[in-house]
C-alpha cells in the first residue's frame, strides 16, 4: 500500500516517508519510511553506522533530510526548527548542565512560565522519577542512573507529544541498565507518551519496544514486533543480528528437494532457490524425537557449556562435517550421548530459507 494511503487510514502519531540523507558521498538514510502510533514505544535497532541516530536527528530537526517528509499527526514538521516540533529528547551523554542543580536542570525547559507553576512541575517530575529530595544536588553528586533520571525528568517536564531517546542506557552497567529499562518502560506506558528510542542493544529493544525497526546500511530491513522479528526474520541480516542462530548450506536436487550434504530436508515452504542457507534458532533444535516427518540427523557432540538455567551444546552433523552448530536446552532435557554421538532433530516448521 502506498504510504500516503496508509497515513490517511491509520493517522499515526509520527510518520516518516521516504527519508534520504547523505553526508558527501556517504548515504546515511536510503528511503526510510515508518510510522509510530500514539502511545507506542518504537526502537531503532542496528549496528553503528546503520543510520538510526541520523533518522532520530532528522525527526528532531537536528539534521535536515535531503528528501522525504516527516509528520506529527497531520502536521508537516519536515522543515520546522527543533523548538517547533514538540518533543523531549534524552541524549546518550544526558547533557546535564554541571553548574546547575537538579531543580534548575529540570526547570530549564520551562523558562517563561510562572515561578510557582515551574516549582510544582519540577516537584512532580522528581516524584515521577523517584528523586524527591535531590533538588539541591549537582549532577556530579549523582550516580549515572540518577543523572539519567534527571535528564529524563527534564525531557518530560514541558509535556512533549513525542519523547526521543538516543542510546539512553549505554553509559550504565548491565544491572542498572536492566532495572532502568523496566522503569522507563513502565513510566512510558503510564504516561502514554509516544516514544522513539535508538539502541544497538537487542536486549533493550526486545525488553522495551512495542515494535522494532531493524536498520542496516541506511534502510529498514524489518519493522515488526520483537516476537515477529525473532521468530520470522525477514532477511539474513535480521536473523543474524537479533539473537543467535544456526546456518546450514543447502542445494536443491533434481527433484526440487533441499539437500544438506547427502541428506534430504523437509521444509514447510516450497523451495524456489537452487541453493542457499537454512536458518534455525538454537532452542529450536530437538533431541531423540524421531518421526518420519522430521529432519533427523546423527551428530557428533563437540562440547557442552552449563549456564545455570540452560546448557549450550555445540555439535556437527554427520552429513555436514566441519560445520559447527549450536543447541540451547534445559539441563533436565539433556539427551543421551553415546560415544560422543547424539540424535538431532531440526523441525521443518523452525527452518527458514534464505537465498
Higher-confidence residue of 196 and 290: namely: 196
Q: Are residues 272 and 206 in the same domain?
A: no
Mean pLDDT of 314-333: 93
Reported as a pLDDT band with limits 50, 70 and 90, residue 290 is low
Q: Are residues 305 and 253 in the same domain?
A: yes
Q: What integer pLDDT is reported at residue 205 of this predicted model? A: 94
Q: Are residues 253 and 306 in the same domain?
A: yes
Mean pLDDT of 115-130: 92
Cell of 72: 506529527
* Contacts (Cβ under 8 Å, ≥6 apart) of 222: 212, 213, 214, 228, 229, 233, 234, 235, 238
Q: Are residues 16 and 42 in the same domain?
A: yes
Percent share of the chain, pLDDT over 70: 95
pLDDT in tens, 165-187: 998 877 677 777 788 888 889 88
The domain total for the chain is 2
Average pLDDT, the chain: 90
5: left (phi over 0), alpha (psi -120 to 50) or beta: alpha
pLDDT in tens, 143-152: 888 898 899 9
Half-sphere exposure of 172 toward its Cβ, with a 13 Å CA cutoff? 22
Domain encompassing residue 124: 3-240
Q: Are residues 105 and 250 in the same domain?
A: no
Q: What is the CATH number of the domain that holds 226?
A: 3.40.50.300
CB 157 within 8 A of CB 125: yes
Cell of 307: 549456564
Q: What is the CATH number of the domain that holds 302?
A: 2.40.50.100
Q: Are residues 235 and 340 in the same domain?
A: no
Out of 95-109, 252-266, 285-299, which region has the weakest mean confidence (pLDDT)? 285-299
pLDDT in tens, 325-335: 999 999 988 88
Q: What integer pLDDT is reported at residue 1 of this predicted model? A: 36
pLDDT in tens, 265-281: 989 888 888 899 999 99
Q: Are residues 136 and 260 in the same domain?
A: no
Measured distance CA(59)–CA(53) in Å, rounded:
10
Which among 211, 240, 269 is the end of a domain?
240
Q: Are residues 34 and 53 in the same domain?
A: yes
Reported as a pLDDT band with limits 50, 70 and 90, residue 2 is very low
Q: What integer pLDDT is reported at residue 6 of this predicted model? A: 39
Measured distance CA(62)–CA(79) in Å, rounded:
10
Q: Are residues 194 and 269 in the same domain?
A: no
Q: What integer pLDDT is reported at residue 328 of this predicted model? A: 95
The yes-or-no verdict on residue 230 having pLDDT over 60 is: yes
The yes-or-no verdict on residue 8 having pLDDT over 60 is: no
Q: Are residues 259 and 206 in the same domain?
A: no
Which among 240, 268, 286 is the end of a domain?
240
Residue 136 burial (CB count, 10 A): 10
CB 229 within 8 A of CB 242: yes
Q: Are residues 252 and 168 in the same domain?
A: no
Reported as a pLDDT band with limits 50, 70 and 90, residue 291 is low
HEC string for the chain = CCHHHHHHHHCCCEEEEEEEEEECCEEEEEEEEEEECCCCEEEEECCCCCCHHHHHHHHHCCCCCCEEEEEECCEECCCCCHHHCCEEEECCCCCCCCCCCHHHHHHHHHCCCCHHHHHHHHHHHHHHCCCCCCCCCCHHHCCHHHHHHHHHHHHHCCCCCEEEEECCCCCCCHHHHHHHHHHHHHHHHHHCCEEEEEECCHHHHHHHCCEEEEEECCEEEEEECHHHHHHCCCCHHHHHHCCCCEEEEEEECCCCCEEECCEEECCCCCCCCCEEEEEECHHHCEECCCCCCCEEEEEEEEEEEECCCCEEEEEEECCCCCCEEEEEECHHHCCCCECCEEEEEECHHHCEEEC
pLDDT in tens, 204-219: 999 999 999 999 999 9
Which among 240, 268, 288 is the end of a domain?
240
Q: Are residues 192 and 271 in the same domain?
A: no
The yes-or-no verdict on residue 294 having pLDDT over 80 is: no
Measured distance CA(55)–CA(44) in Å, rounded:
9
Amino acid at each position: 500500500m502506498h504510504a500516503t494511503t496508509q497515513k490517511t487510514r491509520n493517522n499515526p502519531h509520527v510518520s516518516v516517508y521516504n527519508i534520504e540523507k547523505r553526508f558527501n558521498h556517504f548515504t546515511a538514510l536510503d528511503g526510510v519510511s515508518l510510522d509510530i502510533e500514539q502511545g507506542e514505544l518504537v526502537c531503532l535497532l542496528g549496528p553503528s553506522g546503520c543510520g538510526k541516530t541520523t533518522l532520530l536527528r532528522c525527526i528532531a530537526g537536528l539534521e535536515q533530510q535531503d528528501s522525504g517528509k516527516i509528520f506529527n499527526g497531520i502536521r508537516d514538521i519536515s522543515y520546522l526548527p527543533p523548538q517547533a516540533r514538540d518533543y523531549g529528547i534524552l541524549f546518550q551523554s544526558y547533557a546535564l548542565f554541571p553548574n546547575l542543580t537538579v531543580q534548575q536542570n529540570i526547570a530549564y525547559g520551562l523558562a517563561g512560565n510562572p515561578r510557582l507553576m515551574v516549582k510544582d512541575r519540577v516537584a512532580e517530575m522528581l516524584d515521577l522519577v523517584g528523586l524527591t529530595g535531590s533538588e539541591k544536588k549537582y549532577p556530579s553528586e549523582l550516580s549515572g542512573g540518577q543523572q539519567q533520571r534527571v535528564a529524563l525528568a527534564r525531557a518530560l517536564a514541558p509535556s512533549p507529544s513525542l519523547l526521543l531517546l538516543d542510546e539512553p542506557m549505554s553509559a550504565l552497567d548491565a544491572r542498572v541498565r536492566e532495572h532502568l529499562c523496566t522503569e522507563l518502560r513502565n513510566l512510558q506506558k503510564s504516561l502514554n507518551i509516544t516514544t522513539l528510542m535508538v539502541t544497538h542493544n537487542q536486549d533493550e529493544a526486545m525488553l522495551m519496544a512495542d515494535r522494532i525497526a531493524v536498520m542496516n546500511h541506511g534502510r529498514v530491513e524489518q519493522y515488526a514486533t520483537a516476537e515477529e522479528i525473532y521468530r520470522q526474520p525477514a532477511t539474513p541480516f535480521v536473523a543474524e543480528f537479533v539473537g543467535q542462530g544456526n546456518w546450514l548450506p543447502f542445494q536443491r536436487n533434481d527433484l526440487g528437494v533441499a539437500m544438506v550434504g547427502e541428506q534430504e530436508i523437509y521444509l514447510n515452504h516450497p523451495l524456489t532457490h537452487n541453493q542457499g542457507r537454512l536458518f534455525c534458532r538454537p532452542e529450536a533444535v530437538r533431541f531423540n524425537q524421531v518421526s518420519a516427518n522430521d529432519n533427523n540427523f546423527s551428530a557428533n557432540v563437540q562440547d557442552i557449556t552449563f549456564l545455570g538455567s540452560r546448557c549450550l551444546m555445540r555439535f556437527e552433523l554427520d552429513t555436514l562435517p566441519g560445520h559447527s552448530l549450536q543447541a540451547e536446552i534445559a539441563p533436565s532435557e539433556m539427551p543421551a550421548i553415546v560415544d560422543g554421538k547424539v540424535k538431532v532433530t531440526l523441525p521443518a516448521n523452525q527452518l527458514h530459507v534464505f537465498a
